Amino acid sequence: MRKHWLDNLRWVTVLLVLFYHVIYFYNNKGVFGGIGGFGPYPELHQYQDVVMYILYPWFMPLLFILAGISARYALQKYNTREWFKARTRKLLVPGTIGLFVFHWMVGYFNTVVASRQGVFDGVPGLIKYGIMAVSGTGPLWFIQDLWLFSLLLLLIVRLDAKDKFWNACGKLNIVWIILLGVFFWVGEQTLIRQPRPDSADGLLNLYKPLFYLIPFLMGYFVFSHEEVQEKLKKAWIPLLACAAVSGIVLIVTTFGEDNTSPQYLGSPLNCIYGWLACLALIGWFQACLNRTSAFAGYMTRSSFGLYIVHYLVVAAIGYMLKTYTQLPPWSMYVILAVAVFALSPLLYELLRRIPFVRWAVLGEKRRA
């Protein structure tokens, strides 16, 4: 029986990622990427940036938890060879070949922003194309990490071939499930606190492989158990209340800081909020949103594609609005949000109908 709550929580989280990027693109809190805000902080308080503080501590860890749960269910249905072959097509192909087929356009806007300082002056076209393709990775770091974790999972599963560790994890009570948040905090401590300029430190802090591996494995070994899911379902209201309180305290005491810095992410309060939010949402969606509809079915099928293509819309329209118009900031946010939620599905539907492109960019099989 299909778990509709799992599908719904995944696509709802993806939609929140799209909205996050609208706000993030114009942030003035020092978060890397985007085009910058409409004035420096604290001279200009962009209170809309609070969206980043609400979402960032938990929405990507939650997607890795859901991916881990799904991996467990898939490996019960398919053999490891079939599963990993499908993972490679769905994740590695778009995360590598797709950069040169489609995401170089995202890289173009990234390099246009950077070239204001003359970064690419005198660079030959072919080399610049390669740089744009690589810099167009953007949100694809998620699927690149996920492919690597899928490879590691095959090795880990062999060590637990008789499911002894998996079965033991299913016996955890709600107190121990909450205390697993300690590993969430431990994962954040693996970030490089003082990244060195002109090194790969910043890239490692973006991908956070050691941190994101933890929720992925927790999804596989812990949250794939129906017994664990049932415990979260029963406790979703107090979990959500605790997450809300910790989140409010976090935002009130830290608003204005770079909420993606290693120091911020590694703080105990950020980890408490992020972990409780993950648990609360898993329980809430089971209790209240374990159903489907025509719209939910479409979003279940297409949310991965929307995630893949949406940032081109953000980068292109967001850049042109701020560079070539004198519109008030609030209208730029509205136009960009409408564009992202309206054009991303259209772009996805277009690409999935083009031979080769649907495979290279979306990781989808050839249409029958």
In this predicted structure, the answer to whether residue 139 has a pLDDT above a threshold of 60 is yes
Q: Which of 207, 274, 276, 291 lies closest to 240, judged by CA?
A: 276
87: buried, middle or exposed (CB in 10 Å: 19+, 13-18, 0-12)?
A: buried
Do residues 219 and 64 make contact, with C-beta atoms less than 8 angstroms apart?
Answer: yes
pTM: 0.96
* Distance, CA of 83 to CA of 92 (rounded, Å): 13
Say yes or no to pLDDT of 15 above 60.
Answer: yes
User: Is the separation of the CB atoms in 19 and 307 below 8 Å?
Assistant: no
- Dist CA 61 CA 303 (whole Å): 17
What's the pLDDT tens digit per position in 43-97?
899 999 999 999 999 999 999 999 999 999 999 999 999 999 999 999 999 999 9
Closest to 85 in 3D by CA, of 97, 74, 72: 74
Question: Over 70: is that where the pLDDT of 338 sits?
Answer: yes
Is the backbone of residue 199 left (phi > 0), alpha (psi -120 to 50) or beta? beta
Beta-bridged to residue 257, according to DSSP, are 255
What residues does 255 pair with on adjacent strands?
Answer: 257
Quote the DSSP letter at residue 92.
Answer: I
Q: What is the pLDDT of residues 196-226, one digit of tens each?
A: 887 888 889 999 999 999 999 999 999 999 9
**Cα(49)–Cα(156) distance, integer angstroms:** 40
Q: Name residue 326's amino acid.
A: Q
For residue 178, pLDDT beyond 80: yes
**Residue 168, token pair as written in the block:** 């033991």
Taking each helix axis from N to C end, the angle separating 104-114 and 294-324, rounded to the nearest 10 degrees, works out to 30
Cα 109 versus chain centre, distance = 21
Residues 73, 223 contacting (CB under 8 angstroms): no
Total length of the chain: 368
Measured in degrees and rounded to the nearest 5, phi and psi for residue 96 equal: -130, -70
Burial class (CB in 10 A: 0-12, 13-18, 19+), 232: buried
- Tell me the mean pLDDT in the region 186-202: 90
**Is 184's pLDDT higher than 70?**
yes
Backbone angles phi, psi at 180, to 5 degrees: -60, -15
Per-residue confidence (pLDDT) for residue 118, from 0 to 100? 58
